[in-house]
Structure 1
Amino acid sequence: MTLKLRSVGASDRGLIRSGNQDALHSGTWLVAVADGMGGMAAGDLASRIAIDAVGPLDLATPEDALVAALQSGIEQATARIAEAVREDPERQGMGTTLTALLFARTGSCLALAHVGDSRAYLYREGVLKQITRDDTFVQMLVDQGLITPDQAASHPRRAVVTQALQGGEVSPAYATMVPRAGDRWLLCSDGLSNVVRPDTLAEVLAGHPDRDECARRLIDLALRAGGPDNVTVVIADVVAED
């Protein structure tokens, strides 16, 4: 038996925004979510550039090359965003988050790359764990012990990111993990994580084994909570197959 990744993705512009600046990739080996910023025209361009840059990584990759592949994809995204700003100076300041998971061809390992405040959660054996750490002002305050995580959730500056892909220097976080059959990954933009509590996320991930239904339910919950932002989710299950 070999471990495989099976995924679906869904996105909604929400109830307030005039357009959708999120982008996603839901593939056989790669899943990714990007949340653009910097005005409508520039934000959706930045997120699309990021997803287009990492999309070609969706192929069978040796486990010892996973992190290098993600690093290369992010370098491509950074260079292309910088070029887009040079082409049109009005795009100055545009950028995007990126959270991407790349599964090894052997099924024995996966790598995660992250910058910004989109998130990756792992639901394993009944427990939901946030794997990524937000690159945000309020997370810095939490780390310094100045506010609690509960206070961060309602802080007026919770949307202020401390780094994103903007065409310049950036320090993404990379990690590798050993997958297990039955693992369920949730990648999402902050349009979900800012309005739906982690315990509710866990309930939905546990209660909706069908990936499409699970994704639709999560988006529905974000909309019921007011849908103040674009909301994007990718559900990726680790399954054992012959």
Structure 2
Amino acid sequence: MKHNIRYAAGSDVGRRREQNEDAGYASPRLLVVADGMGGHAAGELASSSAIAVMREMDGTLPETGCDLESALEGAVHEAARRLVELADLDPARRGMGTTVTAMLFDGYRFALAHLGDSRGYLLRDGALYQMTKDHTLVQSMVDEGRITEDQAAVHPRRSMVLRVLGSEGRAEPDMALREAEPDDRYLLCSDGLTAVLGPEVLHEVLTTVADPGAAVQRLIDLANQGGSPDNVTVIVADACPPGDGDSIVYRVGAGS
């Protein structure tokens, strides 16, 4: 069965930052969250540049017959090349980077690309699944059995990211291809959300707030009320029957 998506996106600078280094993009077939890093406004440039490349890809893809994984992975590699070029123009930009978590749909399936510690979640049949794995120091320590998930949540180096899209060269994203199912709900978010809201709260909001736009705003509000230390960017999308999907394009956060 073919699906469209109904979706909304939002980004907030938060209560502890002066600038928004997050960026987000949502269209009828592409959802992307990017969380930039680097001094002298380089984080904003990194995330907005990655989004710009993704948007360009979205505008040139054929309506049918697209290899979702190849198209999305190619856009990630092009974004990496773009960041290297920008860093070469200004030494102050060297070391800048951005997370990227993106989903590309064709109505039946979606490709998922992921670098960094932004996250993608799937709500299906009432259960919430984390589709991505954080590329962080603490996640590697959890994987090795050195610390527990609870210890990772409060570890002093929990924000150290090991793999991002950066000006140092090409990084390979985690890639996956999944089937879309009726009534799926998808959440893409920066770590400004998940730093303070656990899976139980995410599940509660996603299962009780039906409208994607209202769900986005509720999650951002809860993150800020919870003392999020970072910018907060959220995209919520629902798989729906053909004819019920949205056609608006959202560009939020840095560069919007």
| Corresponding residue of 2:105 | 103
Structure 1 residues 63 and 141, CA gap change in structure 2 (3 angstroms): farther
C-alpha deviation, 1:55, in angstroms: 1.2
In 1, Cα distance between the equivalents of 2:230 and 2:191? 8
% identity of equivalent residues? 47
Structure 1 residue 83 and structure 2 residue 97: aligned? no
Q: Which amino acid aligns with 1:186?
A: L
| Corresponding residue of 1:225 | 226
| Corresponding residue of 2:190 | 189
In 1, Cα distance between the equivalents of 2:220 and 2:234? 8
Structure 1 residues 40 and 10, CA gap change in structure 2 (3 angstroms): farther
C-alpha deviation, 1:239, in angstroms: 0.5
Q: Provide, for residues 108-155 of structure 1, a one-character-per-residue CA deviation record: whole Å limited to 9, x for no partner.
A: 111000000000000111100100000000000000001111111111
Q: Give the unaligned 5+ runs of structure 1.
A: none
| Corresponding residue of 2:32 | 32
In 1, Cα distance between the equivalents of 2:65 and 2:127? 26
3-state SS, counterpart of residue 32 of structure 2 = strand
In 2, Cα distance between the equivalents of 1:172 and 1:57? 17
1:31-70 to 2 correspondences below 5 Å: 31-58=31-58, 61-62=63-64, 65-70=67-72
C-alpha deviation, 1:72, in angstroms: 1.3
3-state SS, counterpart of residue 31 of structure 2 = strand
Q: Give the unaligned 5+ runs of structure 2.
A: 244-256
| Corresponding residue of 2:146 | 146
| Corresponding residue of 1:129 | 129
C-alpha deviation, 1:77, in angstroms: 0.5
| Corresponding residue of 1:214 | 215
- Conservation of the 8 A alpha-carbon contact between 2:5 and 2:237: yes
Q: Which amino acid aligns with 2:80?
A: T
3-state SS, counterpart of residue 2 of structure 1 = coil
C-alpha deviation, 1:103, in angstroms: 0.2
| Corresponding residue of 2:179 | 178
C-alpha deviation, 1:5, in angstroms: 1.6
Structure 1 residues 221 and 63, CA gap change in structure 2 (3 angstroms): farther
Q: Which amino acid aligns with 1:68?
A: S
In 2, Cα distance between the equivalents of 1:17 and 1:62? 42
Normalised TM-score (structure 2): 0.91
Structure 1 residue 17 and structure 2 residue 36: aligned? no
Structure 1 residues 40 and 20, CA gap change in structure 2 (3 angstroms): farther
3-state SS, counterpart of residue 182 of structure 2 = coil
Q: Provide, for residues 84-109 of structure 1, a one-character-per-residue CA deviation record: whole Å limited to 9, x for no partner.
A: 101100111100000000001xx211
- Conservation of the 8 A alpha-carbon contact between 2:40 and 2:93: no
Structure 1 residues 41 and 10, CA gap change in structure 2 (3 angstroms): same
| Corresponding residue of 2:73 | 71
In 1, Cα distance between the equivalents of 2:62 and 2:230? 34
Give every structure 1 segment of 4 or more consecutive aligned residues whose post-TM-superposition deviation is greater than 6 Å: none
Q: Which amino acid aligns with 2:128?
A: L
Q: Which amino acid aligns with 1:99?
A: T
3-state SS, counterpart of residue 20 of structure 1 = coil
Q: Over the residues paired in the alignment, what is the CA RMSD in angstroms? A: 1.3
Matched residues, number:
240
Q: Provide, for residues 44-95 of structure 1, a one-character-per-residue CA deviation record: whole Å limited to 9, x for no partner.
A: 0000011111113335554651011011111111111001101100111100
